Structure 1
């Protein structure tokens, strides 16, 4: 057990120790300069949770990594858009990574068990196959509202750009997907009593690291804005602590710890390295303008309801 604890500590500490040897540039007002474009598409090959057969192995060994093909994914990696056809050509695929899961704590790289309340809310999440009676039956991401504070940093099938912009007293994180922008005060002002999808964030500098603490989540603050994996939303008591550390000129370590005793039996932490790419272009994400799926599904349900009244229910619509 002692050896296991030491190994876990080494995995969690190796990047911060490396960061201590790196002196990042400073903004004109003296803060560490994290500004730039930090896309995450390369990490699409990494799953949120570690495959069970890998146990506590946080990183692949040299020989295991060498056997990975150019396009590879560990079981459970995000492949929701990998459907083939012309659409697949526009999707990003990622590159081989040694990291075996985004979750680094608990040590097995898996989410901790849900509490009874967390399990109840997980069972009540919107389902892909309906019902689709109203917009409330859809996830925030499907409604073009939000992917959540953590979800916005994790890679998906496309539009995985992130841009950090700094000004005196503020840090702004612009996420390409859903075109979300988090304006984070770093001037010591207190939290406000307003609940949001992304919560209410306040930042501070601890040495070279930007530490962001977020509270005041609303009732739909899912960790990824969606319910496909049956992972419940944060509760109103949830606290999120994020750390942004520039460990060299082109690598930004992102770490986030979720503390939500109403939902999970213990806290859990994700970590990932973001690579600077000054050539990356953030595209406008016109989600509402192109969201034909929402009105089509709602319209289909209205047709289904009408067929119920006339007694001419269609067999295809019956499978909602």
Structure 2
């Protein structure tokens, strides 16, 4: 998916800001909407030929597309929607999902042919930590670095060179933790295993995370990788725990863009950043994915999310046709310079 497609999504971002999501009760009646059930731990997955739990397969998170990253302040500590809120969301999701057929009927192609709508769910937000389901405030240094970031997602910005675009604009990486969160397209995730390692293939930006699970130590020289350096281990026979550090620091390191993320979501990374992920297989076709992001230089507190993965081995991952030579960068710069020249001439 090229940058041009991503830019077209800007027009529909507001329309998607309130949409779906993960495992939840079937109704709000007689439910404590502030309590997220614990992750089931009684499933015993099959084993690979070399004895590790077998997580291999395709686990797209398209069904989570539309679930807000954050919940609204009014929802407080409610993990789940009320019946009324659920009905409203369901109607909204159904309307957005029908756009494909509506566009076909009108002999046109628009966002309905581009955006992959998810399933309606009762979850209020991807975030489950802090308890209010909202990103914690940034530190003073975090705010300073965030203000230095440049991105096509930032409204009103001028463009003069490649440094005015983030790493996602430039088709380098969506970074972490954003790469593990749903987006309006390219939500495929595929797990491969071999003795001593797990590989996580991502459809977005066609990246592959290599996770050693053979006890390889972290005490190696820091390099500063876009996706960090991951090390994993197996826990309780059904859980893969991954710890990732050694991220590339700086104000242009990542951009947490997903449905319901804050308008100004430019998120810098420091050398102290750490991502801890837990993948627990809860059934032959289900995995609960939990993540906690810690970066005390940037955020005043840790934050974390929980996603429910569903196996879909017939899901087909397509090429992410995006590269640094994308003409859209040049078009942005050319258009921005032309607009400024026109404004300057008008002032004269």
Residue in 2 aligned with 1:315?
A: 343
Aligned partners of 2:35, 2:50: CA distance in 1, in Å? Answer: 34
Q: For the Cα contact (< 8 Å) 2:130–2:304, is it kept in 1?
A: yes
Secondary structure class of the residue paired with 1:315:
helix
Answer yes or no: is 1:24 the counterpart of 2:24. Answer: no
CA deviation vs aligned residue, 1:105-147 (integer Å, no higher than 9, x gap): 1000001111111111122221343321211111111010111
Secondary structure class of the residue paired with 2:63:
helix
Answer yes or no: is 1:174 the counterpart of 2:174. Answer: no
Answer yes or no: is 1:87 the counterpart of 2:89. Answer: no
Answer yes or no: is 1:260 the counterpart of 2:295. Answer: yes
Aligned partners of 2:300, 2:74: CA distance in 1, in Å? Answer: 23
Residue in 1 aligned with 2:127?
A: 103
* Aligned 1:231-310 pairs, distance under 5 A: 231-288=266-323, 291-301=326-336
Worse overlay, 204-213 or 118-127: 118-127
Q: Which structure exhibits the higher relative contact order, with contacts defined as CA atoms closer than 8 Å and separated by 6 or more residues?
A: 2
Deviation at 1:289, TM superposition (A): 7.7
CA deviation vs aligned residue, 1:78-103 (integer Å, no higher than 9, x gap): xxxxxx97231221011101111011
Deviation at 1:297, TM superposition (A): 1.7
Residue in 1 aligned with 2:227?
A: 198
TM-score with structure 2 length normalisation?
0.76
Residue in 2 aligned with 1:221?
A: 253
CA RMSD of aligned residues (A): 2.7
Deviation at 1:9, TM superposition (A): 9.6
Deviation at 1:48, TM superposition (A): 0.4
Residue in 2 aligned with 1:52?
A: 73
> Runs ≥4 in structure 1, deviation > 4 angstroms?
7-10, 61-64, 225-228, 301-304
Matched residues, number = 291
Aligned partners of 1:273, 1:194: CA distance in 2, in Å? Answer: 32
Secondary structure class of the residue paired with 1:288:
coil
TM-score with structure 1 length normalisation?
0.83
CA deviation vs aligned residue, 1:22-57 (integer Å, no higher than 9, x gap): 111111111111111111111112100111111100
1:95 to 1:71, Cα distance in 2 relative to 1, 3 A:
farther
Secondary structure class of the residue paired with 2:342:
coil
* Residue segments in structure 1 that go unaligned for 5+ positions in a row: 1-6, 74-83
1:118 to 1:8, Cα distance in 2 relative to 1, 3 A:
farther
Residue in 1 aligned with 2:138?
A: 114
Q: For the Cα contact (< 8 Å) 1:147–1:225, is it kept in 2?
A: no
Secondary structure class of the residue paired with 2:90:
coil
Aligned partners of 2:195, 2:209: CA distance in 1, in Å? Answer: 15
Q: For the Cα contact (< 8 Å) 1:170–1:185, is it kept in 2?
A: yes
Q: For the Cα contact (< 8 Å) 1:176–1:285, is it kept in 2?
A: yes
* Residue segments in structure 2 that go unaligned for 5+ positions in a row: 1-31, 95-102
Q: For the Cα contact (< 8 Å) 1:244–1:255, is it kept in 2?
A: yes
Answer yes or no: is 1:135 the counterpart of 2:162. Answer: yes
1:189 to 1:137, Cα distance in 2 relative to 1, 3 A:
same
Q: For the Cα contact (< 8 Å) 2:172–2:324, is it kept in 1?
A: no
Secondary structure class of the residue paired with 1:196:
coil
1:290 to 1:136, Cα distance in 2 relative to 1, 3 A:
closer
Residue in 1 aligned with 2:189?
A: 162
